[in-house]
């Protein structure tokens, strides 16, 4: 029988054929849905942020002297970016501006905080935060660990919170990492009664990991997607690590950085800030090795806690439908260039490790990046299918993830108070010190450790002029208030700024 011929002359057959075809299509669609359930679900977000972790302190990024198996696994299963930058700081507490940029997606001088860390009330009402974007989209939003911004912004951003560390660091005299201050949030209560303060009683990295694991294991409504913001306090000083981890990094076996110096060649501004006087002058090789021993031990211990969170994510059945972004707020000098802290524009301090893993993310791929940490927010939003708020300045790096391009910016900018300004391409970096009218120029391809200053070489004079012009362009973009010809006066005016 010719089925087609029969169908042409039989209305009843037409009806049967239409019904059968519809059933077949629905069956095929249903079958596809069952085979790809993750595609039907909203994407979960797990954001992991460490504190003061230099860009070269993950084994997968090329450091053979440190053991970071969980971060290595994350990098090998996802995509890593080699050149990701903190844009700078208006104060010595570089951690605070970095977190403000991450949580607003905005540039350094456009975050809603002035140089004293005062909130602009118009900002609070006007701009949507990272967590708030997901909260308003029906996500369970959870935060644990270091926050360092106002608790008003915290309330706007999160539905759940446990082991929140409100402050910038857990100082040695207040318990350090062994007994830090934490706060739990109870959303059923209002006002101050919603927050309960307590002492951690164990290492801060373990307290934070405990809270993250507990959230994943005991969610009340698993039908909702989640957005987790996990902020470790480590490896920020005080350099406290369990003995079993310290034993893995004997002081006498630690290698000094190739760019170690006993003194920085000149006072770059805030040379005697708290971070810089954690060890004496001249820098002692013995002391720097001792500090590196503790620093590496803290990082490996934190890596183990990250492993616990990732294991619980797997156990929850949500791993295949979760975007993981791991990074740090900035780097740290730890003896390089004769410095200890992050109040400088060298790569060891302005860059951070960065890994993205999740559905449709390339596996085992490395790209350059050339973007700032404030791209975390719009990237997570775009990958989750959410609208990026208009207030966000930073670009999403989805085009980089998709391989459409290798870098977000041709040049990046950096600032530290009124003491330092920086502009960097993939090839060269210029650092300018307005207070002392000094310039440094480094060939970043031939001299990635920034050892040889080329600024006095006549053949680079035109390059310096061109890069200073690029710096001025970036100052306009980020609304940098500094007048390079009058740095003290222009920045004093910024410090006195009041919001009207």
Q: Can the peptide bond before residue 372 be classed as cis, meaning omega within 30 degrees of 0? A: no
Where the chain has pLDDT below 70, the residues are 1-40, 113-125, 497-500
Question: Do 332 and 478 reside in the same domain of the chain?
Answer: no
Listed residues 375, 392, 409: the one ending a domain:
409
Question: Do 174 and 134 reside in the same domain of the chain?
Answer: yes
75 located within any domain: yes
Residues 101-118: tens digit of each pLDDT: 999 999 999 987 544 444
CATH number, residue 288? 3.40.720.10
Rounded to whole angstroms, the Cα distance separating 305 from 81 reads 22
Please tell me the predicted confidence (pLDDT) of residue 33. 35
Question: Do 343 and 476 reside in the same domain of the chain?
Answer: no
Exposed, middle or buried by CB within 10 Å (0-12, 13-18, 19+), for 473?
exposed
Question: Do 360 and 466 reside in the same domain of the chain?
Answer: no
Question: Do 139 and 264 reside in the same domain of the chain?
Answer: yes
Question: Do 420 and 388 reside in the same domain of the chain?
Answer: no
Question: Do 268 and 343 reside in the same domain of the chain?
Answer: yes
**What Å distances lie between residue 390 and 129, 384, 395, CA to CA?**
11, 17, 11
Q: Which domain, by its residues, includes 423?
A: 413-495
Q: How many domains does the chain have?
A: 2
Listed residues 362, 390, 409: the one ending a domain:
409
Question: Do 220 and 143 reside in the same domain of the chain?
Answer: yes
30 located within any domain: no
28 located within any domain: no
Residues 136-183: tens digit of each pLDDT: 999 999 999 999 888 888 999 999 999 999 988 888 888 899 999 999
Residues 445-465: tens digit of each pLDDT: 999 999 999 999 999 999 999
- Residues contacting 468, CB < 8 A, separation 6+: 423, 430, 432
Rounded (5°) CA angle 457-459-464: 80
Question: Do 204 and 349 reside in the same domain of the chain?
Answer: yes
37 located within any domain: no
Question: Do 270 and 417 reside in the same domain of the chain?
Answer: no
86 secondary structure, DSSP code: -
Residue 438: phi, psi to the nearest 5? -120, 145
Question: Do 283 and 323 reside in the same domain of the chain?
Answer: yes
CATH number, residue 473? 3.30.1120.10
Helix, strand, coil % in the chain, rounded to nearest 5: 40, 20, 45
490 located within any domain: yes
Is 416 in contact with 269 (CB distance < 8 Å)? yes
Rounded to whole angstroms, the Cα distance separating 441 from 175 reads 42
Neighbour-count burial for 110-126, b at 16+ CB within 10 Å, e otherwise: bbbbbbeeebbeebeee
329 secondary structure, DSSP code: S
Is 87 in contact with 108 (CB distance < 8 Å)? yes
Cα atoms in the 13 Å half-sphere on the side-chain side of 200: 28
Rounded to whole angstroms, the Cα distance separating 238 from 243 reads 15
Listed residues 384, 409, 434: the one ending a domain:
409
Question: Do 419 and 281 reside in the same domain of the chain?
Answer: no
326 located within any domain: yes
Is 430 in contact with 473 (CB distance < 8 Å)? no
77 located within any domain: yes
């Amino acid at each position: 029988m010719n089925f087609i011929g029969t169908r042409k002359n039989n209305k009843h057959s037409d009806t049967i054929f239409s019904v059968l075809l519809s059933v077949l299509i629905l069956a095929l669609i249903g079958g596809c849905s069952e085979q790809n359930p993750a595609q039907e679900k909203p994407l979960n977000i797990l954001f992991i942020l460490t504190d003061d972790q230099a860009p070269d302190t993950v084994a997968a990024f090329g450091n053979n002297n440190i053991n970071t198996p969980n971060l290595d696994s994350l990098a090998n299963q996802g995509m890593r970016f080699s050149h990701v930058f903190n844009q700078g700081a208006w104060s010595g507490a570089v951690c605070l501006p970095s977190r403000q940029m991450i949580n607003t997606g905005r540039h350094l001088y456009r975050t809603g905080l002035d140089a004293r860390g005062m909130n602009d009330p118009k900002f609070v009402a006007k701009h949507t935060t990272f967590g708030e974007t997901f909260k308003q989209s029906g996500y369970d939003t959870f935060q644990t660990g270091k926050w360092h911004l106002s608790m008003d912004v915290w309330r706007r951003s999160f539905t759940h919170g446990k082991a929140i560390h409100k402050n910038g660091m857990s100082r040695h005299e207040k318990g350090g990492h062994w007994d830090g201050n934490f706060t739990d949030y109870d959303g059923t209560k209002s006002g101050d009664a919603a927050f309960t303060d307590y002492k951690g009683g164990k290492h801060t990295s373990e307290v934070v990991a405990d809270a993250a694991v507990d959230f994943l294991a005991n969610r009340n409504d698993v039908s909702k997607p989640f957005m987790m913001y996990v902020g470790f306090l480590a490896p920020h000083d005080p350099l406290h690590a369990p003995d079993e981890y310290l034993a893995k990094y004997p002081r006498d076996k630690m290698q000094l950085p190739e760019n170690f110096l006993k003194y920085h060649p000149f006072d770059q501004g805030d040379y005697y800030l708290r971070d810089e006087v954690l060890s004496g002058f001249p820098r002692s090789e013995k002391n720097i090795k001792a500090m590196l021993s503790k620093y590496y031990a803290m990082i490996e211990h934190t890596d183990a806690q990250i492993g616990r969170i990732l294991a619980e994510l797997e156990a929850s059945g949500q791993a295949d439908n979760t975007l993981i972004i791991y990074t740090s707020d900035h780097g740290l000098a730890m003896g390089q260039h004769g410095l200890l802290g992050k109040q400088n524009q060298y790569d060891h301090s302005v860059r951070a490790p960065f890994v993205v893993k999740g559905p449709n993310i390339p596996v085992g791929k490395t790209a350059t990046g050339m973007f700032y940490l404030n791209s975390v927010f719009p990237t997570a939003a775009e990958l989750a299918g959410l609208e990026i708020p208009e207030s966000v300045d930073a670009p999403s790096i989805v085009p980089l993830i998709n391989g459409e391009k290798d870098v977000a910016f041709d040049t990046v900018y950096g600032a530290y108070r009124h003491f330092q300004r920086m502009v960097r391409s993939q090839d060269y970096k210029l650092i300018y010190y307005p207070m002392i009218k000094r310039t440094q120029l480094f060939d970043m391809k031939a001299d990635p450790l920034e050892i040889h200053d080329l600024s006095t070489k006549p053949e680079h004079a035109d390059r310096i002029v061109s890069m200073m012009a690029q710096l001025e362009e970036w100052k306009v973009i980020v609304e940098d208030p500094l007048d390079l010809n009058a740095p003290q006066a222009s920045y004093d005016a910024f410090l006195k700024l009041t919001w009207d």
